[in-house]
Chain A
Amino acid sequence: MKPRDIIKRSGRNLRQAKARTILTASAIAVGTFALTLTLAASNGAQHFVDNIINNNFDPSELIVANDKSVFGRADSATPREYDSSFGQGLSSANAAIQFKQLSDSDIVKISAEPYTENLRKGITINLTYLTRAGQKKYVGVASTFNPAQHPDLSSGRIPSNLGGNDILLPEAYVEALGFKDAKDAIGKSITLTVRKSFDATDIQTALAQGLSAESIKSLGQTSVTEVPFTVAAVIKKPTTAQPGTELYMFISADAASRLNDIATKGTANYHKYNFVYVKVKNGNNSSDLIAAQDKLKAMGYTAQSTADTQKFLTDIIKVLQGIVAAFGAIAVIASVFGIVNTMYISVIQRTREIGLMKALGMRAKDVGRLFRFEAAWIGFLGGIMGSVIAFGVGTALNPWITTKLSLGAGNSLLIFQVKQIAVLIAILMIVAVLAGFFPARKASKLDPIQALRTE
């Protein structure tokens, strides 16, 4: 018997028992539904992570720190010995932690390495406030602009070399600072204010002047430094920024150092950095990047590549998805018993038909195939049902999820890929065929004489 005829006949047999077929396939559909959504969520999360990485990091750069705690890999259960160079920071659980920072000597040492093309300090400054003449004061954070960043602009442009007083202003501040629109903000001045630490010179000066009310007041005034910046561009609300950095404004590395020096002078954090970006020569070549990473590690530093960051993020996603996928797989396994049961009932009900087919010369192999194809059809039907429902539900919910999770326009949590769904359905068909193995074997081994005598 030709395979095409077996396939057609098996499909016809299933159509004759529609209710039973649909119910059996529904069990598979439940598992398929969960697995399709898991795959779609996996694609969406991967896409989102890739966008974050591509829009915020240069793959030829390494992020270098002096302490693995910077990357959230601190051993929080073991006491650490005090080091006078420790800086303050927050763990991933927002607990206060101390970690060893990079100093100027570290930067000189790393810059001198043959693989270092250039080095950029990772500086983030908590502003006391930012404002504009005649406007309210707002809290804010300024950070070093990373040339690998490609923010969408509402207005203006990003100069190839960000000037000492240029600032990239988030769109959210446009209205708050009294600009008519993004275009109106371009070329206008805003003021960033940082609180200057008290240092010995200031106090000595105040003491020399005598601790009058006037000298104490002037001491308070000097503790705040206002630095004017010119808006070079207004950046749209980022859809793929690192979470929590949506309102960051960006300034040049020089300007960031200047502000940081003002804010940290006289403190333990002066000229200390949590991390630096090291651009590696031929860093796009993974072997060169890994070689540089190994050398930095040998020097006692912790170096993380873009791929490491990406892996760190995707690993977390994969664990969560693995749990959901496991539930889907359990549903599929449960449905296997449904297929076995349905197929056994089918063999019993069609004993005389099997006897007739064998009497007419149908080979036992083809009888087995007929039932295995029926099982495959059930798997196919269940797969189609589950994936179509998942696609429908996912497509309907995507806009709501995007808004709820603030993923930003152009991003979706659920991304369906036809190829993946096709592979999933193919796997389900194989699972169904395996489930139908024993009933098909029973059918193929039936004695035609006994089968024809069955009432």
Chain B
Amino acid sequence: MKLLLATLLLFVAIESSAQVRLPPQRRMKRDSLIEHGLPRLDPRQVAVRSFLGQIEHGIITSSLTSSSAHFASQVLVNISGGESGYFSSNQVLSVLQNYFSGRKPVVFHFSRFNDQGSAPYATGRLTFVNKGSQESAQIYVSLEHRDSRWVISQFNIY
């Protein structure tokens, strides 16, 4: 009985430390942003575009908010008519989930992006269904390089 109890305690303790586990590294994948026939890109540009592709895919499939690994430790979020301010990577997941919970994405792709400089960004128009009617909003995403990977540092919806 005591061993069972100790095992239970161990289980609880391990679960309680789950929050501080490092997020799993996702494999980067090539995506539609890397167009064929264009001049050769440097590895940095490739990485940026690849990550932007992941974001694009994540927004359409509503999987962007499945992990805080996509976001910087502090993210500036600006939602027109909604939240505005700096949020932690954990909090931004719920903020965006809350936004997308009533808005089912239909179409989205980054129409403009800038993969140069230390803070590349991309913007695109999202079409979604809200309460039965189709609406749209513009999404702006800015990236920064942290701990050898790209993360989202700003996420605006206007």
| A, B from the same assembly | no
Instruction: Report B's interface with A, CB cutoff 8 A.
Output: none
Instruction: Report A's interface with B, CB cutoff 8 A.
Output: none
